[in-house]
Structure 1
């Protein structure tokens, strides 16, 4: 794609007659809101946000309005995008809408990035009417200066371009506007605001907030007019403009070792998988066969499908396999994508004309499946695509969003009468270490906001604990240390932005990293943070800096504030200090500290003391149940029961060797199982039917992805029977959390004299919000005290801001009221219902 073009408006208008895109009602409302908020001519400064979900037409809405109201008045437009993936999409939309510009003969459009398919920042001319540029290229070009041959300061053509219009009117668009508070982007806009007298800034986003609430204020400083228009995802789905996405994860069974180099690339350098691994995935015939078989086995449900692959030969392989199964398939790609496999006969290359012809046949229904290599512009937009298959995991939220968005058009947006939902099929490989791949947040794709999977803060803790358990090493530098020495007291939640540039692609990524701190070094981190807050760290705020560039300064701080032998317990001390530097340099504030309030639950020394006189078989059973309890974190800490058991044996040996055995009440003696009572299928079905085929704890009904189990109210090991009166229906999650406890969820009044501790259980993907809340409430009351939840998904709903938790009569509402603030925070942050402001408990 060319980086520069000049368009004759009359010629384009003639070609577009009868092809004009008709806006939907929500887009017409957005046009009116934009006109009312950003009055023309531009006078002074105004910033506003347009909020539409992915698939709701943000780009078209903004471009169409800009063509009619900004470019038609001769005002220059700078369009900034967070990723080079988004540039071509914006450029194509401008080309499609240039016909709506009036009062002009020509329009000059330039695309600017580090890609060799685009112009570079040094080629910008004052005559350019539209500049579409990656944010990081703009930041770099704006701040770079040099001396000319006479020693005078010389600015880049980009800076000269902006300075030229400092006394004129100027218009800026920020795509993915929730990233605006990032250090480089906000400083660029602040400087432009100071230097350009008449400036409007329009932010486009599906999520009008920054993940770090403490720097969220920057949004409203830049977008000082607030949100001019926001479309409700649920309304667009109900009106069949958007499809409801259905996420389907497919495990390929392919396992990959993760060496330190790869781990550093993805977690420290924040880059995507290296080309050598992508090449390996693309060439794996068994993996590609699995992708083919998945489509063939589900072709009736999948329907019209777009498969995103990584290599041209992967496209061709999948296409040939699909054809052999009677599937009408073809492939589109433009060139050999970073492939090691080159062919002299020009295979691996397709012309634009060939691709356009194939895509037109796809639109006309001549193909069932198109396989492509990241061709994400409007040119491959086919509204009635029902299924998108993403053949590998990625660390790029924007790339992921672009791929998913191809299937989200609803019936009224050309999706077809049979498109009730959109399938998003994700092929997942197994990685030996937790990697920061994009995953979907709670609530699915509401506004299509995929989240970078934040590295679990227990990951580094787990590595160290497993090392101790598997190698039988003692706690080096900590003679006779208690087990809790190695469990963090909490984490600092750091957030910063990094700029990534690789293979001609640019992207800004927001990174959220948890820094684990221990009881013996928490105060040292506090001292370091207080010191850093007083330092001038501006030079370290640059998003393009890699962690290695900060290593020397981090080393100085480590020497000043820490004892390396003691404090580098998990091997991440230097990395953690770098994260703190980046966070404070970019945000200017202290990262939030999150207490690990349940730390004492994971005191293996205490558990060892409790079980030291327990018979081995019974001890093994108890530990197995403890390890498999989904409400606890033992699986996260040790990954495998073998390591957990070895760690427990270490704790027992320490107690025996030290001669210090604080005996706690042992487990009760097991009661022999009555062999005359077996749990038959007839009894199972009787219980399922009695309980209406739903979990008595959380209320989840049996459906695809939800399995129900028969649970013993009083476990067999404690004397329980297989009689229906001792059986209840629970889902897998609730049954695992109940464990060996005796809890009768058929009872709706708590048998307790005081409440149990509230635990904010992680909600599985199969949970609706009422399931997650019911599980938490019922744990506190030790019965099915939760009756119902009053809530609304609509802004005009009675229970949109204030939710009501209804308890069965006879349960003390104060037991849950005392936790209402923490429960509200959980609903806002973990479940993603940020609109809720208050929770009311009703008896």
Structure 2
């Protein structure tokens, strides 16, 4: 029995109920032809998997309603159910537990979603040309000199795409060669960043190392006792390690005593209360050296006092790329092909939204608009039409586009609209099934030579850091933000240069709402916080 054939029987009224009023309300602006059953059915199957349609009771009931008599008999018999009276109502009222759902999926020849017990590899022996660009070697010398002083803290300030992770991992390897019986711990707060650091170390140590060394994953399912480690490289989740500290301060103190180098990715978060407590507990006991990494060494873009707190934590010491003959290193990185030349485009929209005094205070405090304001913006149909119209133009010259949505629902709405326009689009949020998420990301990363067709990722909440798809040549920032940190992270997903497998040019489209905030040039972002730091020179 073919489920797609059954879905084709759903009329437009039912399809509109399933897809929801936000999608349908916006589709109406595209024209009546987009509300026909065939188009809505296409959107349904692009937005939800066949498994999801059967697992969800609401959609499953609609499917049951259009079953023919012989079909419902066959299904009930296959599921071994005893239903005597109204077969359709009886089947809808059946309690579908996991086992029954799996039988239903197998009946339609669909793959059963299972939580795979993936083997957890939490340590590996790394074996022994890992070159650095001249600007990376130069900045590394500054780091090494500063960490050999009494004030052994420094923030490594390099633009996204210029090799912060590679540069720092190179230092870590050299540090291990000179210091055998000590631990080095690398903190990050997302799976993408943790995986990136862990994998980069294995790659570097196989070229730079002089012995076998343990590399430890300390996030997710790890049950390693940190207090027993010595001479080990640990990549650790901030939250997991903080919880370990709260659970047993004694064991964490023992671990800190055996640790002499601490690194923190996205170090503009270092003075957040819980993270600051964790970092201080790690570096105070053994007077450990501390390296922070950031493309945006500030907490805000217009609150110097907040930024000063961060710089003071690092003794105001910052190592940044400096190139003779260039006032701003970003210009050099673009000219030489390390970064793509950015074309900044604004998409202006008069949303008519006026920020209240409370909204402005919330914005000043959190650097983001309130959920209520963001929801209102995300549901603006005309704004969404303007965005997808712009994407229609962009796919004429870009083959890989990331669209940053305001909310999960906003990402789904935009994906639905793009699908209606026959644009190859996928939606990706933190709630996307892990297997489906990996497949979508891997498809997006396929070389343009292998798959030259344009692809759009409607994303919310997961691709701002640690996501590396160098051939991405366009980012559409539909998410209003007053955070230069967040904005720079989103821009960074699309500005890899040709030397990094990226592009000559990248286009950054920022949706600017009247009375709301937006940013512009990448080079300006690099120098925004210079007034609260002292750049070290050696």
**What band does the TM-score fall into relative to the shorter chain?**
0.5 to 0.7
Q: Does 1:92 align with 2:204?
A: no
Q: Which runs of 5+ in 2 are unaligned?
A: 1-114, 324-328
- 229, 240, 246: which is aligned to 2:343? 246
CA separation of 1:440 and 1:167: change in aligned 2, threshold 3 A: same
Residue pair 2:296, 2:488 contacting (<8 A) in 1 also: no
Which residue number in structure 2 is paired with residue 750 of structure 1?
none
Give secondary structure in 2 for the equivalent of 1:247. strand
CA contact (8 A) 1:88 1:377 kept: no
Q: CA deviation at 1:67?
A: 4.5
Structure 1: state its 5+ residue gaps: 15-19, 112-117, 145-155, 338-347, 452-509, 511-827, 836-843
User: Distance between the aligned counterparts of 2:446 and 2:512, measured in 1?
Assistant: 31
Structure 2 residue matching 1:333: 3-state secondary structure:
strand
- CA 261–294 in structure 1, closer or farther in 2 if over 3 Å, else same: same
Q: Tell me, yes or no, if structure 1 residue 413 matches structure 2 residue 500.
A: yes
> How far apart are 1:291 and its partner, in Å?
1.1
1:369 aligns with 455
Question: Among residues 97, 108, 111, which one is paired with 2:216 in the alignment?
Answer: 108
Distance 2:266 2:477 in 1: 22
CA distance in 1, matches of 2:359, 2:444: 37
Counterparts of 1:389 and 1:376 in 2: how far apart (Å)? 13
What SS does structure 2 have at the residue aligned with 1:204?
strand
CA distance in 2, matches of 1:332, 1:123: 35
Distance 1:93 1:184, change over 3 A: closer
Q: 1:287 to 1:74 in 2, by over 3 A?
A: farther
Instruction: Determine which structure has greater relative contact order: mean sequence separation of CA pairs < 8 Å that are 6+ residues apart, divided by chain length.
Output: 2
Partner secondary structure for residue 227 of structure 2: coil
Instruction: Map 1:433-832 onto structure 2 (within 5 A).
Output: 437=517, 439-440=518-519, 444-446=521-523, 448-449=525-526
1:9-48 equivalences in 2 (<5 Å): 9=124, 23-31=132-140, 34=143, 38=147, 46-48=152-154
Once residues 190 and 393 of structure 1 are traced to their aligned partners in structure 2, the CA distance between those partners, rounded to angstroms, is: 34
Distance (Å, rounded) in 1 between the aligned partners of 2:284 and 2:434: 48
Which residue does the alignment assign to 1:331? 426
Whether contact under 8 Å (1:384, 1:409) holds in the other structure is yes
Structure 2: distance between partners of 1:393 and 1:3: 38
1:398 paired residue among 482, 485, 489: 485
- 1:422 lines up with 2:506 in the alignment: yes
Q: Distance in 2 between matches of 1:214 and 1:267?
A: 12
Preserved contact between residue 207 and residue 449 of structure 1 (Cα < 8 Å)? yes
- Inter-CA distance 298–332: structure 2 relative to 1 (3 Å threshold): closer
CA contact (8 A) 1:255 1:430 kept: yes
After TM superposition, give the deviation of residue 166 of structure 1 in Å: 4.7
Distance in 1 (CA, whole Å) between partners of 2:409 and 2:446 is 21
Q: CA deviation at 1:164?
A: 0.3
CA distance in 2, matches of 1:254, 1:13: 57
Give the secondary structure class of the aligned counterpart of 2:135.
Answer: helix
Q: CA deviation at 1:388?
A: 0.5
Distance between the aligned counterparts of 2:183 and 2:330, measured in 1?
A: 32
Cα displacement string for residues 605-631 of structure 1 (whole angstroms, at most 9, x for unaligned residues): xxxxxxxxxxxxxxxxxxxxxxxxxxx
- Number of residues paired by the alignment? 402
Aligned 8 A contact 2:484 2:519 in 1: no
Measure the CA separation in 1 of the matches of 2:181 and 2:275: 26
CA separation in 2, counterparts of 1:365 and 1:428? 32
CA distance in 2, matches of 1:132, 1:259: 41
Cα 1:228–1:124, aligned 2, differ >3 Å: closer, same or farther? farther
- Check the 8 A contact 2:242/2:275 in 1, yes or no: yes
Shift of 1:241: 0.8
Report the alpha carbon displacement of residue 404 of structure 1 after superposing the two structures with TM: 0.7
TM-score (norm. length: structure 2): 0.59
TM-score, structure 1 normalization: 0.40
Q: CA separation of 1:245/1:430 partners in 2, compared to 1, >3 Å: closer, same or farther?
A: same
Residue-by-residue CA offset, 1:400-456 (whole Å, 9 max, x unaligned): 22211011112222223xx2x32211113345xxx6x5x437xx22164597xxxxx
Counterpart position of 1:126: 227
Contact 2:351 2:514 in 1 (8 A): yes
Are 1:79 and 2:79 an aligned pair?
A: no
Q: CA RMSD in A?
A: 4.8
CA contact (8 A) 1:390 1:427 kept: yes
Classify 1:360/1:286 alpha carbon distance in 2 versus 1 (closer, same or farther; 3 Å). Answer: same
1:142-166 Cα distance to aligned partner (Å, 9 max, x none): 6x6xxxxxxxxxxx33x43441045
Which structure has the greater CA radius of gyration?
1
Task: Give the C-alpha shift of residue 173 in structure 1.
Answer: 1.5
The 5 Å alignment of 1:254-293 reads: 254-258=351-355, 262=359, 265-268=362-365, 272-274=369-371, 278=374, 281-282=377-378, 284-293=380-389
Task: Report Cα offsets for 1:490-541 as digits up to 9, x if no partner.
Answer: xxxxxxxxxxxxxxxxxxxx9xxxxxxxxxxxxxxxxxxxxxxxxxxxxxxx
- Larger fraction in helix: 2
Change (3 A) 1:133 1:324: closer
CA contact (8 A) 1:401 1:449 kept: no
1:446 is paired with a residue whose SS is: helix
Contact 2:367 2:483 in 1 (8 A): no
**Separation in 1, partners of 2:337, 2:224:** 44
Deviation at 1:239, TM superposition (A): 0.9
Kept in 1: contact 2:427–2:457 (CA 8 A): yes
Secondary structure class of the residue paired with 1:297: helix
Q: CA deviation at 1:169?
A: 3.8
Instruction: Provide the C-alpha distance between the structure 1 equivalents of 2:321 and 2:269, rounded to a whole number of angstroms.
Output: 18
The 8 Å contact of residues 170 and 204 in structure 2, kept in 1 or not, is answered as: yes
